[in-house]
Amino acid sequence: MRIWLGLLAAPSVALACQAILFALATPACSSQSRVELHAVAAASLALTLAFTVIARGGWASHGGGMTQAEVDHADGGTVRAFLAAAATAVAAISAFTVLAMWAVVGVLSPCAQ
């Protein structure tokens, strides 16, 4: 279960963050406040970072950091270790994406024409 949070939930949170930020741009422009935008970005970043930590824990429990000799003699756990490593990478990239979107919220005005 920990692997799937990193592989599926983290990118979904990043996509939802983008959609919600886009939907809140017009209300933020009319109210001249970016508080809602920052709240959505902060919550999304917290979720994606949590999923990254959870996926990293799954990677460590499935033999993350094994040597090549250990991988050669391992059983079917190598597939799980690979998926856990991929989940960690995907979740980290999703967190970086949310951070980049949050940086844009801080720099650009929602009323840009």
Mean pLDDT confidence for 73-78: 61
In the three-class reduction of DSSP (H, G, I as helix; E, B as strand; rest coil), residue 97 is classed as helix
Number of domains in the chain: 1
* 112 occurs within a structural domain: no
Which band of pLDDT confidence, cut at 50, 70 and 90, is reported for residue 76? low
pLDDT at 48 exceeding the cut of 80: yes
User: How much is the mean pLDDT over the chain?
Assistant: 85
- Percent of the chain topping pLDDT 90: 58
Residue 43: closest CA among 80, 14, 2 = 14
The span from the CA of 85 to the CA of 71, in Å, is 14
Q: Which two tokens stand for residue 110?
A: 């929602």
Q: Evaluate whether residue 69 is within a structural domain.
A: yes
Q: Tokens 């406040």 label which residue?
A: 33
Report pLDDT for 4: 86
> Could you give the CA distance from residue 33 to residue 52 in angstroms, rounded to a whole number?
30
- Percent of the chain predicted with pLDDT > 70: 81
Would you put residue 32 in left (φ > 0), alpha (ψ -120 to 50) or beta? Answer: left
Answer for the pair 36, 28: CB distance below 8 angstroms, yes or no.
yes
Q: What is the DSSP letter of 108?
A: S
Answer whether residue 113 is part of any domain: no
For residues 22-38, give the mean pLDDT: 92
Average pLDDT over residues 29-36: 91
Q: Which domain holds residue 68?
A: 2-107
pTM of this prediction? 0.82
**What length does the chain have?**
113
Mean pLDDT of 46-61: 86
Q: Has residue 88 been placed in a domain? A: yes
pLDDT of residue 98: 97
